[in-house]
């Protein structure tokens, strides 16, 4: 975790510099450095117009298999393309390429990291508790599908009230359409999205709007197409297997430089791109049984450099382990992440909200699961999980709520759990709004998925644009098998979306005109009010699980969440997730509760309720209240009497 320290003065030396790849020096020379212990000799080939070889420089083999060469300013310059020449193999792109202008199989391009004119010198980041995430996919977020397209929509996000833009992976992948998890050049922003300068411009624009920017990064595997790392060195190990094939070599022979490759990558985004944080994909797929775990090394280095930059910057993990050590510091034997995604909250809520019981939803469905996810973080914290057929997790009730990121939708859950259907389509707008009301009533940091704020119903499916026919066939088969495994009861296989078809990608693009429809405008107004209520109410934004109480009724399917704050602020959410009207008891926690927001404008809800009252709510509705101070003995007005 990071705290702002003494900032680096403008023009002063940076606290860290990338030493691999192509580095533009102060005198204009370009230094090339690549770890290639499998190559006895190496050369760097420079290309001119039309891909014609302009020069070829031998590289000097140094300690630990690192080869280097220095080209004078007149020989190589920013904007030039280059590749490494491997004996017996041919030319290959740079593993630390900053840009792949012709795709993953083409040459790399020299990029000068300091050429961009930043305007965010006064930006020091946001406190963790103020983070409200908005996850988006660059290619489908706007019609143009670029970083510039995202920047154009930042006023919408600012007005919505979110504070952190989270981009699904943006590094170079094969073709023009992909979720990004098949990236093969972890240092190179995808050229079709706009490349390095456009990504930096987006980060700069976010900071100008008061928004943080997070990148989703993948350190558990690389994509199969365009992955040339094995030609250079032992980046992979067959000692462990992952869903994507051989694991990365983080603890075997010659693993030091592999570890450095990913530690450097995290620092590269922080220093060169001014990002405010990273979300690390599926860390349970990272295998390291050394005394010092790679992830602990990353979190320590990231926090140290952020502090020297004088900025708040955060690391968030996606983990399937339900292990609180992920978010605990090294002094407690932890990995030091600032937060982790909360799948248990999503699964617990959806099992109740939609009735889903397939796949991993089998482990959920009780109202008590939802209450526990809100107040304890993990539902499974050591007990037997039927779907997993084993005990799962460890207690995290003592860990602050703002160490968890909760959501009612994200890219994975929409595509995998609901065959591409969003919650508005799968359960209806009313139930989506109830889910959102509960989300913003938890001690966790909330996350929205693109278009959720206006009830977008266009699907979000898995899509690719691989060039290898055998790989295309394998991806189709694997994805179809996974699709059938989680197929919703009563749904037909005809809904299958072929990931390789361009039409699958095109139908995932947001239909922004829906935002202006009557239903879209009403949903957007609700989300804006909900986010504003969290921002303005300390009890809703403090992350205090110890000041959070959740009560449920398994039969009537209602939920009550009461939140408190040392300042005296209090908040209460009453939600009916059942199919019939429910009379929900009003708990104590404030002298009285004043209505702040309801999921439907036509609900006849009294403006003030008191502890001991029973508020009757129709199915699929929720109401949020804030603590109200009433004078002693104040008489209730007739309109304040709750329905019963």
Given this model, what pLDDT does residue 4 score?
A: 55
pLDDT for 323 equals 97
Q: What is the mean pLDDT of residues 628-641?
A: 48
CA dist list (Å): 606 to 185, 539, 573, 597: 57, 22, 14, 12
- Does residue 601 surpass a pLDDT of 50? yes
Tell me what pLDDT residue 110 has.
98
* Per-residue model confidence as pLDDT tens digits over 269-300: 999 999 999 999 999 999 999 999 999 999 99
**For residue 30, what pLDDT is reported?**
98
pLDDT digits (tens, 9 = 90+) for 62-78: 989 999 999 999 899 99
Q: On the CB side of 504, how many CA atoms lie within 13 Å of its CA?
A: 19
Using the predicted structure, report yes or no on whether residue 424 has a pLDDT greater than 70.
yes
Q: Are 76 and 110 within 8 A, CB to CB? A: yes
User: So what's the pLDDT on residue 640?
Assistant: 45
Tell me the mean pLDDT in the region 335-362.
95
Contact 312, 326 (CB under 8 A): no
Among 415-429, 430-444, 596-610, the least confident range: 415-429
Q: Dihedral of CA 94/96/97/103: which sign?
A: positive
d(CA 105, CA 51): 13
The reported pLDDT for the residue numbered 639 is 43
Q: Which two tokens stand for residue 154?
A: 């930042």
Mean pLDDT (whole number) for 257-275? 98
In degrees, rounded to 5, the angle at the alpha carbon of residue 294 between the alpha carbons of residues 291 and 300 is 100
Q: Using CA atoms, how far apart are residues 441 and 572, in angstroms rounded to an integer?
A: 8
State the pLDDT at residue 358: 87
Question: Across the chain, what does the average pLDDT equal?
Answer: 93
Least confident of 302-316, 359-373, 555-569, 619-633: 619-633
Instruction: Give the separation between CA 35 and CA 19, rounded to whole angstroms.
Output: 11
C-alpha count within 13 angstroms, C-beta hemisphere, residue 309: 29
The band of 407, judged by pLDDT with boundaries at 50, 70 and 90, is very high
Residues sharing a CB contact under 8 Å with residue 492, sequence separation 6 or more, in sequence order = none
Q: What is the mean pLDDT of residues 117-142?
A: 98
Tell which wins on pLDDT, 3 or 396.
Answer: 396
CATH no., domain 544-640? 2.60.40.1180
**pLDDT confidence band for 7 (50 / 70 / 90):** low
- pLDDT at residue 630, as a whole number: 55
In this predicted structure, what is the pLDDT of residue 193? Answer: 98
pLDDT higher than 90, residue 205: yes
End-to-end CA, the chain: 48
Q: 493 versus 442: which is more confidently predicted?
A: 442
DSSP for 322-360 reads --GGGGS-GGGT----SEEE-HHHHHHHHHHHH---SGG
Higher-pLDDT residue of 382 and 638 is: 382
Cβ contacts of residue 389 below 8 Å, gap of 6+? none
Quote the pLDDT of residue 245.
Answer: 83
Per-residue pLDDT at 483: 66
257 is catalytic: no
Give the residue from 356, 363, 368, 414 showing the smallest Cα distance to 393. Answer: 363
Fold equal for 128-520 and 544-640: no
pLDDT in tens, 238-247: 999 888 888 9
Tell me which fold the domain 128-520 belongs to: TIM Barrel (3.20.20)
Q: Give me the count of residues in the chain.
A: 644
Mean pLDDT of 56-67: 95
pLDDT band at 12 (very low <50, low <70, confident <90, very high): low
Domains of the chain: which residue ranges? 128-520, 544-640
Can you give the pLDDT at residue 487?
Answer: 54
If one compares 476 and 368, the residue with the highest pLDDT of the two is 368
Burial (CB < 10 A; 0-12, 13-18, 19+), residue 271, is: buried
Find the catalytic residue in 281, 344, 363, 452.
281
Which of these ranges, 127-141, 391-405, 627-641, has the smallest mean pLDDT? 627-641
Has this prediction a pTM greater than 0.85? Answer: yes
Among 394-398, 419-423, 626-630, name the one with the lowest average pLDDT: 626-630
3-state secondary structure of 110: coil
204, 288, 297, 318: the active-site residue? 318
pLDDT band at residue 633, thresholds of 50, 70 and 90? very low
Residue pair 426/452 in contact by the 8 Å Cβ criterion: no
Query: Would residue 281 show up in a list of annotated catalytic residues for this protein?
Result: yes
For residue 10, the model assigns a pLDDT of 53
133 vs 148: CA distance, rounded Å:
20
Given a cut of 90, whether residue 350 has pLDDT beyond it is yes
Distance CA 354, CA 93 (A): 48
Pairwise CA distance, residues 229 & 265, whole Å: 15
Per-residue pLDDT, 490: 45
- As a whole number of Å, the CA-based R_g of the chain is 26
């Amino acid at each position: 975790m990071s705290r702002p320290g003494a900032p680096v003065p403008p023009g002063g030396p940076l606290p860290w510099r990338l030493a691999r790849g192509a580095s533009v020096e102060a005198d204009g020379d370009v230094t090339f450095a690549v770890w290639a212990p499998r190559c006895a000799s190496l050369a760097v080939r420079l290309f001119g117009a039309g891909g014609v070889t302009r020069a070829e420089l031998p590289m000097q083999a140094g300690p630990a298999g690192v080869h280097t060469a220095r080209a004078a300013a007149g020989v190589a310059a920013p904007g030039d393309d280059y590749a490494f020449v491997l004996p017996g193999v041919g030319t290959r792109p740079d593993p630390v390429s900053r840009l792949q202008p012709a795709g993953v199989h083409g040459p790399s391009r020299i990029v000068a990291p300091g050429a961009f004119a930043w305007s965010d010198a006064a930006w020091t980041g946001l406190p963790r508790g103020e983070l409200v995430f908005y996850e988006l996919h660059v290619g489908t977020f706007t019609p143009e599908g670029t970083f510039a397209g995202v920047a154009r929509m930042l006023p919408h996000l600012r007005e919505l009230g979110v504070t952190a833009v989270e981009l699904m992976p943006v590094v170079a992948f094969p073709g023009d359409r992909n979720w990004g998890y098949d990236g093969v050049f972890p240092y190179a922003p995808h050229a079709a999205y706009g490349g390095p300068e456009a990504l930096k411009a987006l980060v700069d624009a976010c900071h100008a709007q008061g928004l943080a920017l997070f990148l989703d990064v993948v350190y558990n595997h690389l994509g199969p197409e365009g992955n040339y790392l094995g030609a250079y060195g032992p980046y992979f190990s067959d000692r462990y297997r992952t869903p994507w094939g051989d694991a990365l070599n983080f603890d075997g022979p010659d693993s030091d430089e592999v570890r450095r490759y990913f530690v450097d990558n995290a620092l590269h985004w922080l220093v060169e791109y001014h990002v405010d944080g990273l979300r690390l994909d599926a860390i349970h797929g990272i295998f390291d049984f050394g005394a010092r775990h790679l992830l602990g090394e990353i979190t320590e280095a990231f926090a140290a450099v952020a502090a020297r930059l004088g900025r708040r910057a955060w690391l968030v993990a996606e983990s399937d382990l339900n292990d609180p050590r992920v978010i605990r510091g090294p002094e407690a034997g932890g990995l030091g992440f600032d937060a982790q995604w909360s799948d248990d909250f999503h699964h617990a809520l959806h099992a109740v909200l939609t009735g889903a019981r397939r796949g991993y939803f089998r482990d959920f469905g009780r109202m008590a699961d939802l209450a526990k996810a809100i107040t304890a973080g993990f539902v499974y914290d050591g007990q037997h999980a039927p779907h997993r057929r084993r005990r799962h997790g460890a207690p995290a009730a003592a860990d602050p709520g703002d160490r968890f990121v909760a959501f009612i939708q994200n890219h994975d859950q929409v595509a995998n759990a609901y065959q591409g259907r969003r919650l508005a389509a799968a359960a209806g707008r009313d139930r989506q709004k109830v889910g959102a009301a509960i989300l913003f009533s938890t001690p966790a940091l909330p996350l929205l998925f693109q278009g959720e704020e206006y009830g977008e119903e266009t699907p979000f499916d898995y899509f690719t644009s691989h060039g290898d026919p055998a790989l295309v066939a394998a991806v189709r088969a694997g994805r179809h098998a996974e699709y059938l495994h989680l197929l919703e009861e009563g749904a037909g296989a005809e809904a299958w979306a072929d990931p390789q078809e361009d039409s699958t990608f095109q139908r995932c693009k947001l239909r922004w005109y829906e935002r202006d429809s009557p239903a879209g405008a009403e949903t957007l107004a609700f989300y804006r009010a909900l986010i504003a209520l969290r921002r303005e109410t300390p009890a809703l934004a403090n992350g205090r699980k110890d000041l959070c109480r959740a009560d449920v009724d398994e039969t009537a399917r209602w939920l009550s969440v009461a939140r408190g704050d040392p300042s005296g602020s209090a908040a209460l959410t009453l939600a009916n997730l059942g199919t019939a009207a429910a009379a929900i008891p009003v708990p104590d926690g404030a002298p009285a509760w004043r209505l702040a927001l309801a999921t439907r404008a036509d609900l006849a809800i009294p403006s003030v309720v008191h502890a001991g009252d029973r508020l009757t709510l129709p199915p699929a509705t929720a109401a949020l209240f804030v603590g109200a101070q009433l004078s002693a003995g104040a008489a209730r007005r007739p309109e304040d009497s709750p329905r019963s």
